[in-house]
């Protein structure tokens, strides 16, 4: 595992495929993969990421799609244009549902908001198209199993008692979908997946934090055994939405500006960056305060005797200066356990999927 070649393609935007017009639902499986090999999938609020090896012992490959959609009025001309340009869509009554990465492009083009099938790490109960769209996006990345019982691990968030019933339903729904595709699916906590992907040399001991679109998932593990699992209900969507509100702007537009090169290590330039800085600091303060609280009140933590690392991942962790902002907040006041380092995952967007792939490889 430590000698694997982690090779990420230059284009991580996912593969755009033509849709299948017609009543009743999204297109079928469109991706391809090697026979019978384990698969890891990060089912995130913002993005869906798949990690796999194309051949036994081969280099790791990842692919992703934005977990979003936008409906547009149906017309034969629009349908033909989308098909010609290989933009993924399906027809639903008098609408064409455009999904995946193309949804964001359409939203920015028409100064509109795209919609998400998920909210706070699980299916959005207020979105009637949640599961059909999610299935459509997954099938652009994940083929039907090449052999019966092919191992697959998928990410699920941590949750509290108030949302445990919702998590049970969400996990069962995803497992049923993967079962239909022929996989033997298991769930893995998102924070633990980060630990699997990034802390091999530390014997899977440390803190893994996945800062995603819907929430921040946190796991503290000793020797791969989880001792703290929880989530903070703030993520990239919180930053985008809160900034959009005070700016009187669409969240999709704010997201685009954020991802085009936000730098948290320098003073903000202009009102857009100022709003993003404000809500980034708010998110980090909330995250660190919760982490300090959970570690302080945790019972029966192993007496490890050595400082442990913290690994940050997810799209929220990508901007320059995020690690430094987190470190500064973490050490004021001193943290209850010794920290050896704070670092950002090798590829923040694929860490959870890579960790899920490792979990799938050990599934028996």
Provide mean pLDDT across the span 214-234.
95
| Distance between CA atoms of residues 246 and 244, nearest Å | 6
Token pair recorded at residue 101: 């990465």
Token pair recorded at residue 162: 């108030």
Cβ burial 151-172 (10 Å sphere, 16+ → b, else e):
bbbbbbbbbeeebeeebeebbe
- pLDDT tens digits, 326-335: 999 998 888 8
Using only C-alpha atoms, the chain has a radius of gyration, in whole angstroms, of: 20
DSSP 181-196: TTEEEEEEEHHHHHHH
pLDDT for the residue numbered 7: 28
Provide mean pLDDT across the span 341-362.
97
Provide mean pLDDT across the span 309-318.
97
| Distance between CA atoms of residues 193 and 210, nearest Å | 9
Instruction: Decide if 118 contacts 237 (C-beta within 8 A).
Output: no
Helices (H), 58-210: 76-84, 101-109, 130-141, 164-180, 190-198
- pLDDT tens digits, 241-264: 999 999 999 898 899 889 888 999
| Beta pairing partners, 92 | 95
DSSP 301: -
Q: Residue 29: pLDDT above 80? A: no
Q: At 119, is the pLDDT very low, low, confident or very high (cuts 50, 70, 90)?
A: very high
pLDDT for the residue numbered 31: 52
Task: Look up tokens 């893995």; give the residue.
Answer: 188
Q: At 107, is the pLDDT very low, low, confident or very high (cuts 50, 70, 90)?
A: confident
- pLDDT tens digits, 131-149: 999 999 999 999 999 998 9
Provide mean pLDDT across the span 20-44.
61
pLDDT for the residue numbered 21: 32
Instruction: Decide if 38 contacts 52 (C-beta within 8 A).
Output: yes
Q: Report CA 243 to chain centroid distance, whole Å.
A: 21
Kindly list the domain boundaries of the chain, sorted by start residue. Answer: 147-364
| Distance between CA atoms of residues 144 and 149, nearest Å | 11
CATH topology of domain 147-364: Nucleotidyltransferase; domain 5 (3.30.420)
pLDDT for the residue numbered 23: 32
Provide mean pLDDT across the span 337-343.
95
Q: At 162, is the pLDDT very low, low, confident or very high (cuts 50, 70, 90)?
A: confident
Of 104-113, 140-149, 160-169, 273-282, the range with the highest mean pLDDT is 273-282
Please give the helix or strand (H or E) that residue 340 lies within, else none: strand 339-344
pLDDT for the residue numbered 364: 62
pLDDT for the residue numbered 35: 56
Cβ partners under 8 Å of residue 249, min gap 6: 243, 272
pLDDT for the residue numbered 53: 92
CA dihedral 155, 285, 313, 108 (to 10 degrees): 90
- pLDDT tens digits, 261-302: 899 999 999 999 999 999 999 999 999 999 999 999 988 888
Please give the residue that has the higher pLDDT: either 346 or 6: 346
Asked, as a colleague might, if the bond just before 333 is cis with ω within 30 of 0, I would say yes
pLDDT for the residue numbered 117: 97
pLDDT for the residue numbered 219: 98
């Amino acid at each position: 595992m430590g000698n694997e070649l982690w090779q990420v393609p230059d284009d991580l935007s996912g593969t755009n495929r033509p849709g299948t017009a017609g009543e009743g639902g999204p297109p079928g499986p469109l991706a391809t993969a090697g026979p019978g090999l384990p698969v890891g999938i990060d089912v995130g609020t913002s993005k869906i990421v798949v990690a796999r090896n194309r051949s036994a012992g081969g280099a790791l490959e990842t692919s992703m799609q934005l977990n979003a959609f936008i409906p547009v009025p149906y017309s034969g001309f629009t349908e033909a244009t989308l098909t010609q340009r290989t933009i993924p869509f399906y027809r639903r009554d008098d609408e064409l549902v455009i999904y995946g990465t193309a949804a964001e492009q359409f939203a920015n083009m028409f100064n509109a908001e795209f919609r998400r099938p998920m909210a706070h790490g699980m299916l959005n109960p207020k979105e009637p198209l949640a599961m059909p769209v999610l299935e459509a996006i997954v099938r652009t990345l994940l083929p039907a199993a090449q052999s019966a019982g092919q191992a697959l691990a998928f990410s699920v968030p941590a949750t509290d008692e108030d949302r445990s019933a919702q998590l049970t339903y969400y996990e069962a729904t995803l497992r049923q979908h993967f079962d239909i595709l022929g996989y033997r699916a298991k769930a893995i906590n998102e924070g633990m997946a980060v630990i699997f992907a990034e802390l091999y040399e530390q014997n899977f001991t440390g803190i893994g934090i996945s800062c995603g679109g819907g929430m921040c998932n946190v796991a503290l593990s000793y020797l791969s055994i989880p001792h703290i699992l929880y989530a903070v209900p703030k993520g990239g969507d919180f930053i985008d939405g809160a900034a959009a509100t005070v700016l009187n702007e669409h969240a999709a537009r704010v997201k685009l500006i954020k991802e085009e090169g936000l730098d948290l290590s320098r003073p903000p330039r202009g009102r857009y960056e100022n709003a993003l800085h404000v809500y980034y600091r708010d998110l980090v303060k909330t995250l660190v305060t919760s982490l300090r609280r959970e570690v302080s009140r945790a019972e029966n933590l192993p007496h490890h005797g050595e400082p442990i690392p913290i690994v940050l991942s997810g799209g929220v962790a990508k901007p320059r200066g995020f690690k430094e902002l987190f470190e500064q907040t973490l050490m004021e006041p001193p943290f209850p356990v010794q920290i050896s380092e704070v670092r950002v995952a090798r590829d923040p967007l694929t860490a959870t999927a890579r960790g899920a792939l490792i979990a799938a490889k050990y599934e028996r």
